[in-house]
Amino acid sequence: MMAIQLTRYTEQDLPFLLRLYSSTREEEMRYFPFDEMQKRNFLHQQFSAQLHHYTEHYNTSQFFIVRRDDLPVGRLFLDQWQQEIRIVDISLLPEFQQQQIGSWLFNFVFEQATTQNLRVSIHVEQHNPVRTWYEKLGFKYKSQTNEVYLLMEWQPAM
Eight-state DSSP code of residue 146: S
Q: What's residue 137's pLDDT?
A: 95
Q: What's residue 13's pLDDT?
A: 97
Phi-psi category of residue 151: left, alpha or beta, with phi > 0 → left and psi -120 to 50 → alpha: beta
Q: What's residue 128's pLDDT?
A: 87
The class of domain 4-154 in CATH terms is alpha beta
Decide: residue 128, CB within 10 A, 0-12 exposed, 13-18 middle, 19+ buried: middle
Low-confidence ranges of the chain (pLDDT < 50): none
Other residues' Cβ atoms within 10 Å of the Cβ of residue 71: 11
Q: What's residue 31's pLDDT?
A: 85
What angle (nearest 5°) sits at the alpha carbon of residue 42, between those of residues 75 and 126? 55
Eight-state DSSP code of residue 96: G
Domain boundaries of the chain, sorted by first residue: 4-154
Task: Give me the amino acid identity at 85.
Answer: I
Q: What's residue 145's pLDDT?
A: 78
Q: What's residue 158's pLDDT?
A: 66
Please state the pTM of the whole predicted model.
0.91
Q: What's residue 144's pLDDT?
A: 85
